[in-house]
Amino acid sequence: MHTPPSTPEPGAAALDRRAVLAGALATTAVVALRNPSLSAASSLASGRAVHPSDPNPEVMAHELPPLPYADNALAPTISANTIGFHYGKHHKAYVDNLNALLKDLPDLAALSLEDVIKKSHGDAAKAGVFNNAAQVWNHTFYWKSMSPKGGGQPTGKLLDLIGTSFGGYDKFKEAFSTAGKTQFGSGWAWLVYEGGKLTVEKTPNADTPMARGKKCLLTMDVWEHAYYLDFQNRRPDYITAFLDKLVNWEFAAANLG
Ligand code: MN
């Protein structure tokens, strides 16, 4: 789990489903090929990766993206124990569940993760696909929304937008914290850019603003599994620590573009 950030490599496209089914270990770059929007620095246009010499390229399985830092990098705010379960068990399970469900849905299986989410959103018959696909995307976005060197206020254009959208950083902090605290049960708090300004949203369970075509800048997981080992029932303390010590404004600024 001590995996550094990676950049796409041309050789990663050589993996195909047969290799995955054969139990081969996929390289992390495959994820960047399939999920270009998860990497703000990525310039890849395609959401799919295929074997360059295969005349009938088959769709690849979705992969568990690497953590952008070591599993103990956010400690003591978020412990390696929490990351071990949250990333290694929960996030991985969403990936595995999604791949299992897509085996019977070839039309959806041919799509990028983002398109799977958008196509299955609101379709009761595809709720399982949506929940697992969205949770894969949400968690990858969440890991990047935190940094060992994070916390505090943003700078530049983002700080200006926070000022015009919320009336100042403290007002943003209050709105984002309230969204996280008042999300009943499991869910997420988001910073979203829409119509020239920033807004805060909260979503239940796997739901995500990106399913409705919105541009997400940041997210905070408020499912109990995100904080219970470190904060027990004290969700407000987890939220305060997220904003004071972990929030990754560089990622948010890159998403703003
Ligand atoms: Mn989670």
The residues of the chain that CATH labels 1.10.287.990 are 12-144
Looking at residue 58, its pLDDT comes to 60
14 C-alpha vs ligand 1 centroid, how far in Å? 31
156: left (phi over 0), alpha (psi -120 to 50) or beta: left
Architecture of the 12-144 domain:
Orthogonal Bundle (1.10)
Q: Is the pLDDT reported for residue 46 higher than 50?
A: no
pLDDT digits (tens, 9 = 90+) for 168-227: 999 999 999 999 999 999 999 999 999 999 999 999 999 999 999 999 999 999 999 999
DSSP conformation letters of 48-90: ----TT-SSPPPPPP--PPPSS-TTTTTTTS-HHHHHHIIIII
Task: Count Cβ neighbours within 10 Å for each residue of 158-182 and write b for 16 or more, e otherwise.
Answer: beebbeebbeeeeebbebbbebbee
Q: Which one is predicted more confidently, 21 or 191? A: 191
Please indicate whether residue 120 or residue 34 has the higher confidence score (pLDDT). 120
Distance from the CA of 91 to the center of ligand 1, in angstroms? 7
Residues of the chain within CATH 3.55.40.20 domain(s) are 156-256
> Cα(194)–Cα(12) distance, rounded to whole angstroms?
34
pLDDT of residue 53: 45
pLDDT tier at 59, thresholds 50, 70, 90: low
- Specify the DSSP element, H or E, that contains 214: none
Whole-number Å distance, alpha carbon 243 to ligand 1 midpoint, is 17
- When comparing pLDDT for 9 and 67, which is higher? 67
| Average pLDDT value for residue range 40-66 | 55
Mean pLDDT, the chain, integer:
84
Q: Give the tens place of pLDDT for each residue, 95-108.
A: 999 999 999 999 99
Residue 42 has pLDDT above 90, yes or no: no
What pLDDT does residue 60 have?
83
Q: Would you tell me which CATH number, out of the four given (3.40.50.2000, 3.90.550.10, 1.25.40.10, 3.55.40.20), belongs to the domain 156-256?
A: 3.55.40.20
CA–centroid distance, residue 108 to ligand 1 (Å) = 24
- Ligand 1 geometric centre to CA of 143 (Å): 10
Say how many Å lie between the CA of residue 236 and the centre of ligand 1. 16
CB 202 within 8 A of CB 190: yes
Higher per-residue pLDDT: 160 or 1: 160
120-163 pLDDT, tens per residue?
Answer: 999 999 999 999 999 999 999 999 999 999 999 999 999 999 99
Helix (H, G, I), strand (E, B), or coil: what is residue 196? Answer: coil
* % of the chain exceeding 90 in pLDDT: 76
Decide if pLDDT at 38 tops 80: no
Question: What is the 80 CA–ligand 1 centroid distance (Å)?
Answer: 14
Could you report the per-residue pLDDT of 231-249, keeping only the tens digit for each? 999 999 999 999 999 999 9
